[in-house]
Amino acid sequence: GDKEEVFSLFFKRLEETFSEGKNVIIDNTNLNPKQRKPILDKADRFGYNDIQLWLLDIPLEVCLSRNRSRDRVVPEDIVANMYMELNRSGRPKRTEGKVVIIRPSKSGDDYLFFPQN
């Protein structure tokens, strides 16, 4: 669907879920604080105070490799631009909630979690 329609439906469902007091997981890129702010503001209005922001801190080369193996491949320049935007100014900040950084281990076989308290 069109982008505005998708966002409208997302926020409608988010508000419904918040009003029911349910836990919410949002799996979205939300590359910068400006994109996260409306979600965090809505959570605050509904009394949610245990906010966690999880950052998958994956090297660009790994992102590009994984993207190539997807059914719906995203153009590499878009992946690279999103990666740069996130690392330039978009990393979650403690002022937004509890930040958890996830990085692959040196072997790449598992992941390491780094809660930022």
> Does the predicted TM-score (pTM) go above 0.85?
no
17-42 confidence digits (pLDDT tens): 999 999 999 998 888 999 999 999 99
Contact 99, 116 (CB under 8 A): yes
Residue ranges of the domains in the chain?
A: 29-116
Task: Show the CA angle centred on residue 99, arms to residues 90 and 20, nearest 5°.
Answer: 100
Nearest to 31 by CA among 102, 73, 97, 79: 79
43-86 confidence digits (pLDDT tens): 999 999 999 999 999 999 999 999 999 999 999 999 999 999 99
- Place 104 in a pLDDT band, splitting at 50, 70 and 90: confident
Q: Encoding tokens for residue 56?
A: 């998958």
**Structure letter (DSSP) for residue 47:** T
